[in-house]
Structure 1
C-alpha cells in the first residue's frame, strides 16, 4: 500500500496548496519508484505506474495544466521510472535466485566437507561452532572432525593458510586423510604423519595460485578407553582445559612443531602429550580466528580469561554459543577470519548394574545393550542377551 499512500499524499498536498500556479504533479513519480522497492513481483510496478499516469492526468485537469510542458514531462518521467522499476525487480529476482542456488551448493558442500557432529560420541559429549569469514559462505579454510575408532574417540581441528577455493580444497584433502588414518593408525603421532603425507600430495596435485606457500596448522586429540587423552599439536593454538573450578590450563606440547606442509612428510614427528582425564573435563579446541579477533582499538580477544565466564552451562553447545556471542561483542562486527571452536567434554556413561531390571514398555522389546569395561580391561555389554537365529540366547 505504500506507493498508493504516496500518490494520495501528493494529491492531498496539491489540493491543500490553494495556489493555481503551483502543481505537485512531478512528485507523482514517487509512486512507481516505491513500487519497485517494496515488491518482488515484476507486474506490480507496471500496475502502479498505470494508476499513477491516470492520477497525473486527473491532477493536470484539476490544475488546468494539460497543455503545459510540466504535464508532459511528468507523464514521461512516470513512464520511464515505471519501466526502470520493473526491470530492476526482474534483475533483483534473478540475483536472489542465483544467491539462493549458491547457498544451496554451499550447504551441500558443508555437509560433505564439514559433517555435523553428534552431541555424544562414546564417552565424550561434543559441540562445534563454525563461522566463515565470507559474508555468504558456509565453509572456508578451517576444518574439524570427531570420529569413534577402535583406539578411542579422535578429533582434529585445523586451519589452512589463506581463504577461497584453494583453502577449501586443501581442507578437504586433510579431512579425508584424517577420516582414514584415525581408524588405521594406533599411534596419534603417526596419524599426523599420515596427514602430512596426504597434504604433500594434495598440494602438488592442485594447481591453484599460492599452492607452494600453503600449510595447515592442526591439533589432534584422542580420548582413549583407559581415561587418558592424547594431544598432538602441529603449529596450532594449544587446546584449553577446563577442570572443575581450576584456572584454565593450556595444553602446550613438549616442544614446538611447525605446521604441516613446512617440513617433509617423513620429518613430521610431533610429541604426544598424555593427560589423565577426570569426569567433567572439557577441552576447547579452536582456530586462530577466535584469539586473533580484534576490537576497535586493536586488542585481541582474551579467550583464556573470558572462557570461565562463558562456561557457566554444562551443555557444550550452549557454552560455545555464549563464547561466540562474547567474541562478537568484543569485535563489534562480523569476524574478519574463519573461526571454528570444538568442545570435547569427558562424560562417560555409567553402566547399569547387572541385576537391575530396566523399564521396558510393552511392545518395544528389550532395552539396548550398554558397553562397560571388565576388570581385566576387556569390553563387554550389559543389557539383553544376544540371540541366535533360532531365538535361544547364547
Structure 2
C-alpha cells in the first residue's frame, strides 16, 4: 500500500466522523435556542447530555470530550441568560452534565483500548494463519489451484480445518483435513498435521506409506496432549491426493474424509471413495489404507472440501447442496469457482457458518497422455480403476 492509499484510508474515517459531528453541534444549538425561548419554568438544559452521548457512537474520546465541554458551556449560558447561573438548581444541572459527559468520555477510552486490543489479536491471528496455513501455490506443474478458508468463530482467522500442497517428483501431492472440534482448540492438532505432511510427503513413495506416517504423528501428539476426559474422542479426517504430471489420473486415500467432486463439462459428480477410519483412532499399518485411482484430464476440476461446507444449514434447516450448486460453475476458473461458492454458502447460512469450512479447487490445465474414453452413460464414468488395498505407484 502506497503513501496515497494509506492517507486515503486514514482520511475516510476522519471525514465521516467530522461530518457526523454536525449532528451533536446542531442539537446543542437547537436545545439552547429553544430553552431561551420557552417560559422560564420550563427547563430543557438537561437534554444537552444527548449531544456527547451521540458523539460517543461514532467518535473517539477527544471529540466526545469537546462536545461534552460545549454542552456544559451551553448549560452555563442558559443559566447566565436567566440570571440564575449561581443558583442551586443550575449548579446541580451543570455538575450532573459534567459528570455524565466525563463518564461518556471514560467509556470511549475503554472502547478505544479494547478496539486496539482486538486489532492486535486480529493481526496475531493473521500472522498465525500465514505461518500454519500457508497459502497454496496458484500453480503446480499442469495444475491451477485456489483455496478458501472460512472460520466459524467470530474474529478467528484459523481453526480446525487445514490444507496443504507440495511439489514432488513427477507430480503434486495435496491434503485437506478436518480436526474434530472447531476454532482455537483445534489449532494445535492442525499445526501438527500440516508440519507432518510437509515433511513426510517428500519421504514416502506411496499414499498408504504417507497416511501411515501421518497416523503415527497424530497418535504421538494425542498420547502427549489429549485430555483424559476426551480420551479416544480426538481424531482428524484427511484426504490425501497425488496427481502425476504426465498421467491424466489422480490417486486418493481417504481417512474418513468427505469425497471430492469432479467437475467437467457442466456436470458435478461425487468421486466414489473407499474411506478408512480417521487419523488418530489406532490404524498404523499402511496395508490398511485404500488407494482409489480416477481419471483427471485437461479441463477437469476437482473440488475438495470439509464437512463444514456440506453441513452448513440454512434458515429452513436444509444442508447446503454443494453438488447442485457447484455444477452451475464448472466452466469457471478455480478462483472464480470458489468466489461463487463462498458467496452462495454464506448466503445459504445467513452470513455465518456453524463450523469451520475449507475448500480447494484443482484444475488440470494441460493435456497429458491419452486415456481410455469414458462411458458417457455411466454416473461414475470418470472412474478408471479402484484398488482396495494395493499401494499406488508413484
Change (3 A) 1:233 1:324: same
Q: In the alignment, is residue 222 of structure 1 matched against residue 222 of structure 2? A: no
Deviates more, 1:42-51 or 1:192-201: 42-51
User: How does the TM-score come out when normalised to structure 2?
Assistant: 0.83
How many residues align? The count is 345
* 2: CA distance, partners of 1:346 / 1:38: 50
Q: In the alignment, is residue 58 of structure 1 matched against residue 77 of structure 2? A: yes
Summarize the alignment of residues 346-365 of structure 1 with structure 2, pairs less than 5 Å apart: 346-348=364-366
* 2: CA distance, partners of 1:35 / 1:330: 37
Summarize the alignment of residues 366-377 of structure 1 with structure 2, pairs less than 5 Å apart: none
Residue 31 of structure 1: aligned partner: 51
Q: In the alignment, is residue 323 of structure 1 matched against residue 341 of structure 2? A: yes
Note the alpha carbon deviations across 1:328-355, whole angstroms, 9 max, x for none.
11121311110100011011389xxxxx
Residue 198 of structure 2: aligned partner: 179
Deviation at 1:48, TM superposition (A): 2.4
Deviation at 1:285, TM superposition (A): 0.2
Summarize the alignment of residues 137-148 of structure 1 with structure 2, pairs less than 5 Å apart: 137-148=156-167
Segments of structure 2 that go 5 or more residues without pairing to the other structure are 1-20, 369-394
Residue 262 of structure 1: aligned partner: 281
Describe the SS at the equivalent of 2:297.
coil
Summarize the alignment of residues 105-254 of structure 1 with structure 2, pairs less than 5 Å apart: 105-208=124-227, 210=230, 212-225=232-245, 226-245=247-266, 247-253=267-273
Segments of structure 1 that go 5 or more residues without pairing to the other structure are 351-394
Report which of the two structures shows the higher radius of gyration computed on alpha carbons.
1
* 2: CA distance, partners of 1:308 / 1:121: 25
Deviation at 1:111, TM superposition (A): 0.7
Q: Which has the higher contact order (CA 8 A, sep 6+)?
A: 2
Q: In the alignment, is residue 288 of structure 1 matched against residue 307 of structure 2? A: yes
* 2: CA distance, partners of 1:25 / 1:64: 15
Describe the SS at the equivalent of 2:158.
coil
* 2: CA distance, partners of 1:151 / 1:173: 26
Residue 388 of structure 1: aligned partner: none
Deviation at 1:161, TM superposition (A): 0.3
Summarize the alignment of residues 326-341 of structure 1 with structure 2, pairs less than 5 Å apart: 326-341=344-359
* 2: CA distance, partners of 1:206 / 1:168: 13
Change (3 A) 1:186 1:267: closer
Deviation at 1:300, TM superposition (A): 0.4
Deviates more, 1:300-309 or 1:136-145: 300-309
* 2: CA distance, partners of 1:101 / 1:119: 29
Note the alpha carbon deviations across 1:49-79, whole angstroms, 9 max, x for none.
2222211011123345435554233212211
Equivalent residues of 2:248, 2:367 under 8 A apart = no
Change (3 A) 1:307 1:164: closer
RMSD, aligned CA: 1.9
Deviation at 1:244, TM superposition (A): 1.8
Note the alpha carbon deviations across 1:229-286, whole angstroms, 9 max, x for none.
10111111100001223x3211122x34111112332377221111122111100000
Note the alpha carbon deviations across 1:268-322, whole angstroms, 9 max, x for none.
7221111122111100000001000101111101111111113342x21111010
Deviation at 1:81, TM superposition (A): 1.4
* 2: CA distance, partners of 1:264 / 1:186: 19
* 2: CA distance, partners of 1:126 / 1:132: 20
Deviation at 1:13, TM superposition (A): 2.6
Note the alpha carbon deviations across 1:155-176, whole angstroms, 9 max, x for none.
1001000124331000111111
Of the three residues 339, 344, 368, the one matched with 2:362 is 344
Residue 102 of structure 2: aligned partner: 83
